[in-house]
Amino acid sequence: MSNGEDKNTTISTQVISASLTMITVLGAFAVFIIEKREIGFWYYLTAGFAFFCFVSSIFLGGKGLSGKGANKIPNPYFNWQAITALVGIILFCVSVFLGKEKPDDLEKKVSEQEKIIIELKTKDDFRAKEIIRLGDDLNKLIKQIDEMKKTTIPNSTLPKTGQAKVNK
């Protein structure tokens, strides 16, 4: 082998190692991203293509190392190996930023509690207004009863106006 072929072989094996490492990193990130992010179709598409590019890069490097295309300078298999590995890295980087962060369990609980508090405050305000209205109605009825007592029994021992008044 000549010195140029040794360099190509060394570079190709290094790119194969890098592609294998990136497949591992892709898998580790996929677990993290699926757990912590709300992802959709585009994540799966880009991560899948990145995986395919890394596998293709390994395959093309193996073809180049087996001697195929050795009669051409530069070896097209090594070129395509490097290109597919680079495209795989770009797709991996894009896939990492796809999706939005899932809300934390604590944030969900706080949000639910805030909604409940707002609902309870609304109900409390409504009930407070209802109590005031009922108190006013009760005071009107007491006044009416007292007026009726005055007209029907002028000197009775029944309570006089204002003695049975309900305070707000």
Predicted confidence band of residue 109 (pLDDT cuts 50, 70, 90): confident
pTM for the model stands at: 0.60
Check pLDDT > 60 for residue 113: yes
Length of the chain in residues, anyone? 168
Predicted confidence band of residue 155 (pLDDT cuts 50, 70, 90): low
Q: What is the DSSP string of 25-86?
A: HHHHHHHHHHHHEE--HHHHHHHHHHHHHHHHHHHHHHHHHTTTTTTSSS-HHHHHHHHHHH
Which of 128, 165, 168, 130 has the alpha carbon at shortest distance from 145?
165
Check pLDDT > 70 for residue 141: yes
Predicted confidence band of residue 104 (pLDDT cuts 50, 70, 90): confident
Burial (Cβ within 10 Å: 0-12, 13-18, ≥19) of residue 163: exposed
Check pLDDT > 60 for residue 156: no
Give CA–CA dist 91/61, Å, rounded: 20
The kind and range of the H/E element at 146 are: helix 105-152
The predicted-structure confidence for 45-82, as pLDDT tens digits, reads as follows 999 999 999 999 999 998 888 877 667 777 788 889 99
The sign of the dihedral angle between the CA atoms of 162, 166, 167, 168 is: negative
Check pLDDT > 60 for residue 158: no
For 68, the token pair is 């195929």
Instruction: Name the average pLDDT for the chain.
Output: 85
